[in-house]
Amino acid sequence: MVKVMVLGSINVDTILQLSRVAVPGETLAVNEKSNAAGGKGANQAVAAARAGADTAFIGKVGKDDLGNKMLKTLQKNNIDTTHIAEDKKHGTGSATILVYGDGQNNILVYGGANQEVTLTEVKAAKSQIAASDFLITQFETPQEDAVLAFQIAKENHVTTILNPAPASEISPDLLKVTDLIIPNETESATLTGIEVTDEASMDANAAKFREMGVKNLIITIGDKGAYYNTESAGHGFVPAYKVHAVDPTAAGDTFIGALSSQLKPDLSNVKEALMFAQRASSLTVQKLGAMPSIPTLAEINAAQEKDEEK
């Protein structure tokens, strides 16, 4: 079984369904309201665990009811929460997700306890990081934590995966210890300065990331698919499955978690793992909410079998 460790955010999401985007100064009725567990880190961990990976987590919640709820939720998903700390001063992270009638969304995030993860807490997880196959992180916790965690991982031959979301300036020290970077097309363009429009521009993005110190790249491009460029498997494009999208929230997180559950540490099977990840995320977008929409291994396999029968 693949061992995955995630350093990342833990949020409680409020999902508001609206017919369209409000214009400045307008009051717009909300059609439906719901709450769900979320956070990019937590979503990725749950996706990995549900897809069959042995999963552990480094993070922080507030010492509040929401934090307690999130710990129980992660534990119910068979995630090791030993290295999730509690913060007495800051509340558990939260996000408000606005979902529109056309299936698009906007997300407003309150970092809270996620921004208070310390280097000491990362160091405390050193032995578990060292025992992992993959270490994944994003940008919803401090970058200095990511740098230290990735340095520990590299010292112990653990493959590191960076999801640079939300896109921001990346520390050169973090890039030096990143094996695989997985941005979407907007994030990739923001970080490289090269707009993603076709395969040639994707190749140019990969070349730029190599200059920055990262040798392996996957760019997710929504309902079109995913581009890969790796040392062991070359480069190519895997198209997405065509489905009716209801809510894209957590589609990218599902993709990354599911991908990690199938990848070999040397990334040699990246194309096959991408196909699995694409199938998982195609199931996620067909349901509302973040964590509730993430599929299980049985659901992913059943969808793949159904597709093969056609």
Supply the residues annotated as catalytic.
Answer: 253
Residue 10's identity, in one-letter code, is I
Report how far apart, in Å, the C-alpha atoms of 216 and of each of 35, 221, 278 are. Answer: 36, 17, 18
Is residue 166 reached through a cis peptide bond, with omega within 30 degrees of 0 on the bond before it? yes
| 52 in a known ligand binding site | no
Report how far apart, in Å, the C-alpha atoms of 108 and of each of 39, 65, 97, 122, 300 are. Answer: 11, 21, 6, 27, 29
Cα distance between residue 247 and residue 241, in whole Å: 15
Residue 175's identity, in one-letter code, is L
| 25 in a known ligand binding site | no
Q: Are 137 and 162 in contact (CB under 8 A)?
A: yes
| 184 in a known ligand binding site | yes
Q: Within a 13 Å sphere around the CA of 10, how many CA atoms are in the beta-carbon half?
A: 34
* 3-state DSSP assignment of residue 62: strand
Q: Within a 13 Å sphere around the CA of 24, how many CA atoms are in the beta-carbon half?
A: 0
Cα distance between residue 146 and residue 25, in whole Å: 39
| 253 in a known ligand binding site | yes
| 167 in a known ligand binding site | no
| 40 in a known ligand binding site | yes
| 42 in a known ligand binding site | yes
In this structure, what DSSP letter does residue 139 have? S
| 103 in a known ligand binding site | no
| 193 in a known ligand binding site | no
| 10 in a known ligand binding site | no
| 93 in a known ligand binding site | no
| 294 in a known ligand binding site | no
| 247 in a known ligand binding site | yes
| 14 in a known ligand binding site | no
* 3-state DSSP assignment of residue 105: strand
In this structure, what DSSP letter does residue 89 have? S
| 284 in a known ligand binding site | yes
Q: Are 177 and 150 in contact (CB under 8 A)?
A: yes
**Residue with the two structure tokens 């040639």:** 200
| 80 in a known ligand binding site | no
Return the closest-CA partner of residue 256 out of 129, 140, 162, 173. Answer: 162
| 199 in a known ligand binding site | no
Binding site, annotated residues for substrate: 11-13, 39-43, 140, 253
Binding site, annotated residues for K(+): 247, 249, 284, 287, 289, 293
Binding site, annotated residues: 11-13, 39-43, 140, 184, 220-225, 247, 249, 252-253, 284, 287, 289, 293
Binding site, annotated residues for ATP: 184, 220-225, 252-253
